[in-house]
Structure 1
Amino acid sequence: MTDESIAVPATPSPDELAERLTEVFDLVGPLYRRVHRKVEEAAPTEGLSVGVRAVLDLLRTRGPMTVPHMGRAQALSRQFVQRMVNDAARQGLVESIANPAHRRSPLIRLTDPGRDAIGAVRAREHALLRRVDGDLTMPDIDACLRVLGAMHALFEDVDVD
């Protein structure tokens, strides 16, 4: 038995959907730039740039990867990722290991200090994100991830190199 007082939202037209998705872009860009600045503010304390942080977190979640694979996964140029890997290696946060699948493209993996560094950064970020207001629910977050995932898929074919 259904409650007829609950309105089921109508499927939006393509134009209505595009207009609302534009609002998402309008929020995502400034949000990204503010988060970027916040990470940069902490860089002197933690010694990690935004790019190195991204590399370390990717290796934390996916394990050892080649620089080209990291670039594709992050929609960043291979050259930029290589510079970030070089920075991380100079700090002793990552190391190159042999890649059985490709002799000329080594795998990059976290070192113990790299694991510790990204763990500390994520703990600080987690503490900050716990302060988000808005009575958000897990279904809200699931919907957000679904929308952003669909938008990401739309631009998946854009070459970043």
Structure 2
Amino acid sequence: MTNDRSPVLAPPSQDELAERLTEVFDLVGPLYRRVHRKVTEAAPTEGLSVGVRAVLDLLRTRGPMTVPQMGRAQALSRQFVQRMVNDAARHGLVESAANPAHRRSPLIRPTAAGRAAIDAVRAREHALLRRVDGELAMADIDACLRVLGALHALFDDVDVDSPGTRR
């Protein structure tokens, strides 16, 4: 039984949906650039560039991975990921391990120093994120993740190693 006081909302048209999703893109780009700057500002203190931080966080959540796996997971070129892995290795934050599945593509795993570094970064980030203003509910976050996940899936066929091409 429907409540006569609450209007039944028609689903948005594809054009209305596309227009609202454009607003998401309009927010995501500047947000990414501001977060990038914030991480870069903290880099001298923590010793982690944005790229090295991304590598360490990925390894923290998914375990040892190859450079190509990390590139695919982060939608970054293998060359960029390799530079970040090399930088992290120079600082003693990651190490290579034998890969039983592929002799020429070693697994990259964090060292104890790498785990400590990413744990410290994430603790600082969580402290910052706890300061978010507004009355956000977990349902809001779930909806945001669902929308961003759908947009991510829409562009999943973009080949990040070959500019202008799709897989």
The two structures share one fold, judged by TM-score above 0.5: yes
Q: Counterpart in 2 of 1:129?
A: 129
Give the deviation of 1:9 after TM superposition: 2.8
1:76-97 Cα shifts (integer Å, max 9, x gaps): 0000000000000001000000
> Structure 2 counterpart of 1:19, which letter?
E
Matched, 1:13 2:13: yes
Give the deviation of 1:2 after TM superposition: 4.3
CA distance in 1, matches of 2:140, 2:54: 25
Q: Counterpart in 2 of 1:22?
A: 22
Q: How does 1:10-159 map to 2 (within 5 A)?
A: 10-159=10-159
- TM-score, normalised via structure 1 length: 0.98
Q: Secondary structure at the match of 1:150?
A: helix
Q: Secondary structure at the match of 2:126?
A: helix
Give the deviation of 1:10 after TM superposition: 1.7
> Structure 1 counterpart of 2:4, which letter?
E
Task: State the superposition RMSD in angstroms.
Answer: 0.8
Q: Secondary structure at the match of 2:88?
A: helix
CA distance in 2, matches of 1:8, 1:37: 44
CA distance in 1, matches of 2:5, 2:96: 61
1:93-138 Cα shifts (integer Å, max 9, x gaps): 0000000000000000011110000000000000000011110000
Q: Secondary structure at the match of 1:72?
A: helix
CA distance in 1, matches of 2:19, 2:106: 44
Percent of residue pairs bearing the same amino acid type: 86
Give the deviation of 1:6 after TM superposition: 2.7
CA distance in 1, matches of 2:12, 2:70: 36
Q: Secondary structure at the match of 1:95?
A: strand
CA distance in 1, matches of 2:7, 2:74: 39
Where do 5+ consecutive residues of structure 1 fail to align? none
Give the deviation of 1:4 after TM superposition: 3.2
Count residues with an aligned counterpart: 161
Q: Which has the higher contact order (CA 8 A, sep 6+)?
A: 1
Question: 4+ residue stretches of structure 1 with deviation over 2 A?
Answer: 1-9
Where do 5+ consecutive residues of structure 2 fail to align? 162-167
Give the deviation of 1:7 after TM superposition: 3.1
> Structure 2 counterpart of 1:65, which letter?
M
Q: Secondary structure at the match of 2:92?
A: coil
> Structure 2 counterpart of 1:109, which letter?
R
